A = this chain, B = another copy of it.
Amino acid sequence: MIRVMVYGLGPIGAAVARQMAARKGFQVVGGIDVDPAKAGRDLGDVIGLGRKLRVKVSDDAVKAIRAARPDVVALCTSSSLKKVMPQIEGLLKLKVPIVSTTEELSYPVGPNRRLAKQIGDMARKAKVAVLGTGVNPGFTMDALPIMLTGVCERVDSIRVDRIQDARSRRLPFQQKIGAGLTAAQFQKKVDDKGVRHVGLAESVTMIADAMGWKLDRVTDQIRPMIANSTVESEFLAVDAGYVCGLVQDGIGWSKGEPLVTLHMEAYLGAPESYDAVTIEGSPRIVQKIAGGVHGDVATASITVNAIAKILMVSPGLRTMRDMPLVSWWNGR
């Protein structure tokens, strides 16, 4: 039985907590959230479990962890590594292993590399492992294509397509992809980084490093998908001419050639959802997951499944590239 504290009770943290409450092998020993509307209440109520968990949500991380002594913390507070850095520092001072859904921690790039080095040093000192994971980044657009190259004698380039009909996703996701905006509003939100998928540069870099490819540059471009007839979800209706979602391409370039192309389309009304990997090389690999891997369920699942493995790996900052296979398990 692995005792887990969930830090951050937004949609993903709540899903992680609910999943552990329902699965064997895990015990949710507490929740942490600074939101005054959550702190002090029963964790089961806050995460919408339908029953009490008889542990209160705390707004004081240090106190909560000292009291509950979790084996692992699931950190689900922000996409930004800079923002979660003080939280990680606090947790590592208390010597607790961390599995986080922070996209920028999955494979830190650019200025985040300096923070990653600090985390690695602190984690080794605390003798615990830290991992950033999720479905994307963490699986569909990096770990899975990397694994598929394992049967190749030569890889020339890698392309991943992740096409999602956003109608089945939660409202915050539909908003994050810009559904319902005008093209001008969309562009403004892109400029403000309010509309975007976080993680393509991380996934591109994880793949390139695994292949041993030195990239000249990584580009990450977003454009709107415009509805050509009214399309609606449970939450929103988007008329023709308005934005119904986004198309985003993360590309790793070498000498003007795209070695890694990660293409995402997430919009209301996509005719077919799927995840596909195409590896140009020998043998050529053409792989597809029909229907795609549903983002919310899958991110909570892979986080919970990684919690079961984080206690087995050597101390430091791990990535999904160097973890043993993270799989579902029935708790035995």
Interface residues of chain A, those whose CB is within 8 Å of chain B, are 19, 22-23, 25, 135, 139, 143-144, 146-147, 149-155, 210-214, 281-291, 293-294, 297-298, 300-302, 304-306, 320-332
Contact = CB atoms under 8 A, between A and B. Distances in A.
A139 B151 contact: yes
B297 A291 contact: no
Contact of A283 (B153, B281, B298, B305): B298
Nearest to A149: B328
A324 B322 CA distance: 4
Contacts of A153: 19, 22-23, 297, 300-301, 304, 328
Nearest to A154: B328
A283 B291 CA distance: 10
Contacts of A211: 327-330
Contacts of A210: 325, 327, 329
A283 B293 contact: yes
A157 to B, nearest CB: 12
Contacts of A284: 291
Nearest to A277: B289
A155 B330 CA distance: 8
A328 B284 CA distance: 13
A305 B281 CA distance: 14
A328 B293 contact: no
Contacts of A297: 151, 153, 282-283
B294 A290 contact: no
A332 B149 CA distance: 16
Contacts of A332: 212, 214
A302 B321 CA distance: 16
Contacts of A320: 325
